[in-house]
Amino acid sequence: MTHERVAVVGIGQTKHKKRRDDLSIAGLVREAARRALDDARMTWSDIDAVVIGKAPDIFEGVMKPELYLSDALGGAGKPVFRVHTAGSVGGSTAVVASHLISSRVHRRVLAVAWEKQSEGNAQFGLGGGKSGSIGAGGAFAPWIRAYIRKSGAPEHIGWQVAVKDRQNALRNEYAHLQLKDISIDKVRESPMMWDPLHFLESCPSSDGAGAIVLTDEAGGDAAAADGRAPAWVLGTSMRSEPSSFNGRDPIRPQAGVDCAWDVYRQAGITDPRRQIDVAELYVPFSWYEPMWLEGHDIAPVGEGWKMVDRGETAFDGDFPVNPSGGVLSSNPIGASGMLRFLEAALQVRGTAGEHQVDGARVALAQAYGAAAQYFAMWAVGTDKP
């Protein structure tokens, strides 16, 4: 049984900000969803099913928010499905939505992911709601130190990524941080948060949502015929492994390697460094860029930092990473994965505006979660698979 082809024909996101005081939670998701529907030239009644993703309910204090959000997302009379796979959830939401179409259960699906961090205390939430918490940076810093020791990377690599992503964000009107005067010196001199991570090497807390409209092959063809290029889904994958055990490699988690190669296989990618034109990787802390370049076999092990150092991942480099500004510039946690996935689709549709990478035909999006143990990815392309 071959599965149905899946196309992204609508994309929307909110302006990501520290606080969206102007909107309720429902208003936030509706802003992104409306933009995606408008982009798809659809109305609420065109949508067969809604898939909602977000990180822990305890962040905002709303349990099972899909129930409350059913009204805002036109959910009455439809299947409304809620995914939660930690930080990878925004990606998983897109993957589950794509499966609803590839399996021929539905033809037009709206996927929405969000977080309104200003309505709660994410630091408290990340600590399991039980303590002050060491925070995500505290959890990841030891692995980043291990990566630096193992690879011999110089310390300026992290600063370079931080500057690059913030400069990219200046091209993206939706990005939260707009740091016009960002520089290597500023990053280096910003307060040390979790050694070796400085304040400016860390993601912000944001309010925001992302949404995509996915259709079957006929829907993708119709959009193409109408002059609105769809992003064809070339491959999707989700993988999980335990958070810790003797022998686990948290620098290059096997779940991430397997997830990437599952997508590469489906997309016919044998040489990711050459065959992928642009990548949106989940980089909440600067050093995760070189780590994921190696973790997904885009760079050889120990050499991800060299790609960064040579400027290859810069906006005008030959392997641009995070042209949107990435998680380092906008981090509504539950939506962060979705933003990677929708940016990849924007790029291959040629509709990324100021942050459009020339000639992007194949794009990879990745999201990870919890103790770098949950992975969701997809590859999208200009050509029908």
Partner 1 sequence: MTTRQKAGETRETAVRQDSDIAIVATAQLPAVRRQELTETEMLLMVVDEALGKVDLERSDIGFSCQGSCDYISGGTFSFVPNLDAMGAWPPIHESHVEMDGAWAMYEAWVRLRHGDIDIAVAMGSGKSSTGDPAAIYPLELDPYYLAPLGLDPVSLAALQARQLIESGKSTERELAEIAARSRRDAAGNPNQQVRAAEQDVDKLLAEGYLRNPLRKSDLPPISDGACAVVLVRGPRAAELTERPAWITGIDHRSEVHNPALRDLTDSASTRLAAARAGGVAGVEVAELMAPFTAQEVILRQSLGLADGVLINPSGGALTGNPLMATGLVRIADAAEAILADGRSRTLGHATSGPALQQNLVCVLEGDNR
Is there binding between residue 331 and partner 1 (CB under 8 A)?
no
User: Can you tell me which of 129, 154, 268, 359 binds partner 1, judged by CB under 8 A?
Assistant: 129
Q: Is 81 a residue that touches partner 1 (CB under 8 A)?
A: yes
**Which of 46, 57, 303, 309: binder of partner 1 (CB under 8 A)?**
57
Q: Does 85 bind partner 1 (CB under 8 A)?
A: yes
- The rounded distance, in Å, linking the Cα atoms of 235 and 306 is 28
CA distance 378 to 257: 13
User: Per rule CB under 8 A, is residue 240 in the interface with partner 1?
Assistant: yes
For residue 46, state whether it binds partner 1 (rule: CB under 8 A): no
Which position among 11, 29, 96, 182 is part of the footprint of partner 1 (CB under 8 A)?
96
Cα–Cα distance measured from residue 287 to residue 146, given in angstroms and rounded to the nearest whole number: 11
Q: Which residues pair with 114 in a beta bridge?
A: 209
Closer residue to partner 1 in complex, CB, 252/349: 252
User: Which among 39-47, 74-82, 277-285, 358-366 is the span making contact with partner 1, rule CB under 8 A?
Assistant: 74-82
Interatomic CA distance for residues 360 and 321, integer angstroms? 12
For partner 1, which stretch binds (CB under 8 A), given 82-90, 166-174, 286-294, 307-315?
82-90
Interatomic CA distance for residues 47 and 71, integer angstroms: 14
132 in contact with partner 1 (CB under 8 A): no
Cis peptide before 196 (omega within 30 of 0): yes
Min dist CB 29 to partner 1, Å, is 13
Least separation in angstroms between CB 281 and partner 1: 18
Tell me how far apart the alpha carbons of residues 234 and 243 are, in angstroms, rounded to a whole number: 29
- Point out which span in 7-15, 118-126, 175-183, 274-282 binds partner 1 (CB under 8 A): 118-126
Strands 49-53 and 108-116: parallel
Q: Where are the alpha helices (DSSP H) in 278-351?
A: 288-295, 304-309, 326-329, 333-349
Question: Judged by CB under 8 A, does residue 208 bind partner 1?
Answer: no
Residue 182: how many other CB atoms lie within 10 Å: 20
Residue 128 or 353 having the CB closest to partner 1: 128
Q: Which is nearer to partner 1, 346 or 377 (CB)?
A: 377
**Which residues lie across from 376 on neighbouring strands?**
238, 367
Closer to partner 1 by Cβ: residue 75 or 158: 75
Cβ within 8 Å of residue 274, ≥6 positions away? none
Q: Which stretch binds partner 1 (CB under 8 A): 37-45, 101-109, 191-199, 216-224?
A: 101-109
- Binding positions for partner 1, 243-272, rule CB under 8 A: 243, 245, 253-255, 258-259
CB of 72 to partner 1, least distance (A): 9
Length of the chain measured in residues: 385
Q: Ramachandran region of residue 61, left (φ > 0), alpha (ψ -120 to 50) or beta?
A: left
Q: At its nearest, how many Å lie between partner 1 and the CB of residue 177?
A: 25
Contact (CB, 8 A) for 28 and 35: no
334 neighbors 54 (Cβ within 8 angstroms)? yes
Report how far apart, in Å, the C-alpha atoms of 375 and of each of 237, 238, 295, 302, 367 are.
8, 5, 11, 21, 6
Residues that bind partner 1 (CB under 8 A): 1-3, 24-25, 56-64, 66-71, 75-86, 92, 96, 99-100, 102-105, 119, 125-130, 237-243, 245, 253-255, 258-259, 370-371, 373
